[in-house]
Structure 1
Amino acid sequence: MRVGICWKIVCVLVVLLSLAGCEDLDNPDTLRLAVNPWPGYGYFAVARERGLLGKPGTPELEIVETASLSDSVRAFKRGQVDMLGGTLAELAAINQSGKRAASAVLVLDRSVGADMIVASKDITSLDQLAGKRLALEPASVNVLVLAAALAESGLQLEQLELLPLPQGEMPVAMAKGQADAAIIYPPISGELEALAGFDRLFDTGQAPDAVVDLLIVADTVIDQHPRALASVIQAHNEALRWGQNNPAEVHKLLAKHTGLSIEELVTLSDSIEMLTLDNQAAFWQPTGPLHRLLPVAGRIVQQLNTRAAEGTGIPSQVLNNRFIPNSEAP
């Protein structure tokens, strides 16, 4: 077992160090990352606090904390950040907008129960959502949960009355009767589930590959600063491994950056599967979940975005696995 673990670590280092042969056009002092308060994105902050970033020859990481995934996407489109934590939905929305090209370079985690649909107690099955008001954050991870729920129930998108709302406004909208159900995730989901009269109707535990969180990076950064980006990816991996061996300490650090209590983080650990570099390859295979679900994300984001050009597809090249050990060439 020790030999197997050491060999995996060697493979990871070989892939990342081989990027040293790709000369950076310049060595950026700082890379800027937008993250909303999702536990799966918190390990970048852990890496920074553990001193794994900003070493000689590596960039500082400026973490821009946003209120929601939509805010992270806006910051990226405006050029305020170089990368963001997001999903295939955000990746599709960014590239469909045509404002700035981006690619996914790392799987951070997959949701196995943390993303959910919460509904009023009188709605007891997904098919009862027909004709109901469903709150969601458009062009965000919410649409992936929606796609999974539609596939599970057989409902059509046209049968739902969609209510675009930021995550933070959903509990109030539900309490006031302005929405019958909401697609929601932590930490806001905890507020809604705590209210009387609402129950969880569906979650990603029923569709464990529907929501995979990614590090999404501007193509210019990938092309011009591969070594700097590789150092951030390696630091994240080291932070993740440290957290696996020190759960109490990592929960304290994550609590500082997510707004969740340590108790909530412990509970959520069963519904968010964090993924180290040596557990990534299967996700990037041509038949894996990323390539399989990218067209689904592109279609539903486009359906909900009336400003997107008709027929705008998302090329598979936006899934860039050059930093992933043991994965097939794209």
Structure 2
Amino acid sequence: MPPLRVGTNVWPGYEPLYLARSMGLYRDQDIHLVELHSATDVLHLFRNGELDAAALTLDEALTLLQDQYDLRVILVMDVSAGGDMLLARSGISALPQLRGKTIGVEHTGVGAILLDGALAAAGLTLDDINLQRLTVDQHHQAFLQGQVDAVVTFDPVATYLIQEGARKLFDSSRIPGRIVDVLVVRKEVIEPNQAVLEKLLHGYFQAVQFLKATPQEAVSRMQGRLGLSEKAILQSYQGMKLPSLQENRYYLTGAPSPLQTRARELADLMLKNELLDHPLRFSQLTDPRFLPRKIP
């Protein structure tokens, strides 16, 4: 049987998967981690059948459901608590000053959620700004070249821009619980890969435990992939919550599960922002069966 192909873009919240690999917890013949530049690339490969599983924001998972992909959420990886942010040029010091300015944002639910919160806090609407759609791998260059006055982004790009003088005006700590990253799996690959999925999640939680117990050693392993200093990586984890095994059981269990309820609320917001074409109908979204019973 070929290895399970798991795709991610570069984001500290997904890094425990790669940490588990570096700890020798995944065998190449069982699990193949596919590293991509952006969430847009991850979605593209998933749609093309080149990935069996993917680390995505919940809104990205909903776009796949809209396109008739049958999938299950088997893990809540992180909940943003400041890690997603709106950064502006040094001459812009307050949110109301964004009126008439050009703001770069990825065409995703996360971008819409963060921008919606920032504009509401500023007393502005989309009609008051110029919106420029950018994938995350374009954020850094577009900001430095003056193509945008502000950008909705996240680490590692956010750290680079702040180091180069960008000013943080708003972040996801002001909209708690609204931005969630999950691991999704195609329904058709679940049954033949149950043992591998259990190994995948077991290794993930062991890596999270290692990160919390020995953060300096853990982040030293992450530096090469993330391209950030140890200090910057540790700071990025202060902007998110990595749900525990017990919290994952809470999120994923029930009919409907708490995560499925949150997904319905998010789908309504996305429909309002024209990120979905039609209302979604899904009876089962989460599957907690592969969560380990305990972490050694």
> Which range, TM-score by smaller chain?
0.7 to 0.9
Q: Does 1:241 align with 2:214?
A: no
* Aligned-partner residue type, residue 134 of structure 1: I
Distance 1:94 1:156 in 2: 28
Deviation at 1:181, TM superposition (A): 1.4
Residue aligning to 1:67: 37
Spell out the pairing of 1:164-183 with structure 2 (5 A cutoff): 164-183=133-152
Q: Does 1:51 align with 2:24?
A: yes
* Aligned-partner residue type, residue 42 of structure 1: E
Residue aligning to 1:89: 59
- 8 A Cα contact 1:110 1:209, kept in partner: yes
Unaligned 5+ residue runs, structure 2?
A: none
Deviation at 1:302, TM superposition (A): 7.2
Bigger radius of gyration:
1
Deviations 1:61-108 (A, max 9, x none): 11111111111111111111111111111101212223x322221011
What SS class does the counterpart of residue 225 from structure 1 fall into? helix
Residue aligning to 1:312: 279
Identity %: 27
* Aligned-partner residue type, residue 12 of structure 2: P
Match of 1:279 among 228, 247, 253: 247
Distance 1:223 1:144 in 2: 34
Structure 1 residues 189 and 247 mapped into 2: Cα distance closer, same or farther (>3 Å)?
A: same
What SS class does the counterpart of residue 181 from structure 2 fall into? strand
Residue aligning to 1:34: 7
Structure 1 residues 318 and 172 mapped into 2: Cα distance closer, same or farther (>3 Å)?
A: same
Structure 1 residues 117 and 230 mapped into 2: Cα distance closer, same or farther (>3 Å)?
A: same
* Aligned-partner residue type, residue 209 of structure 1: G
Structure 1 residues 257 and 177 mapped into 2: Cα distance closer, same or farther (>3 Å)?
A: closer
What SS class does the counterpart of residue 168 from structure 2 fall into? strand
Identify which range, 225-234 or 81-90, moves more after superposition: 225-234
Structure 1 residues 261 and 51 mapped into 2: Cα distance closer, same or farther (>3 Å)?
A: same
Distance 1:280 1:151 in 2: 31
Match of 2:81 among 105, 112, 135: 112
Match of 1:195 among 164, 175, 179: 164
Distance 1:324 1:303 in 2: 34
Q: Following TM superposition, where does structure 1 have runs of at least 4 consecutive aligned residues deviating by more than 6 angstroms? A: none
Aligned length: 291
- Cα RMSD (Å) of the superposition? 2.7
Identify which range, 155-164 or 63-72, moves more after superposition: 155-164
What SS class does the counterpart of residue 202 from structure 1 fall into? strand
Deviations 1:196-223 (A, max 9, x none): 3x31010112223122211111121224
* Aligned-partner residue type, residue 287 of structure 2: N
TM-score relative to the length of structure 1: 0.78
Spell out the pairing of 1:213-228 with structure 2 (5 A cutoff): 213-228=181-196
- 8 A Cα contact 2:71 2:187, kept in partner: yes
- 8 A Cα contact 1:251 1:262, kept in partner: yes
Unaligned 5+ residue runs, structure 1?
A: 1-27
* Aligned-partner residue type, residue 107 of structure 1: V
* Aligned-partner residue type, residue 235 of structure 2: T
- 8 A Cα contact 2:143 2:150, kept in partner: yes
Deviation at 1:34, TM superposition (A): 0.9
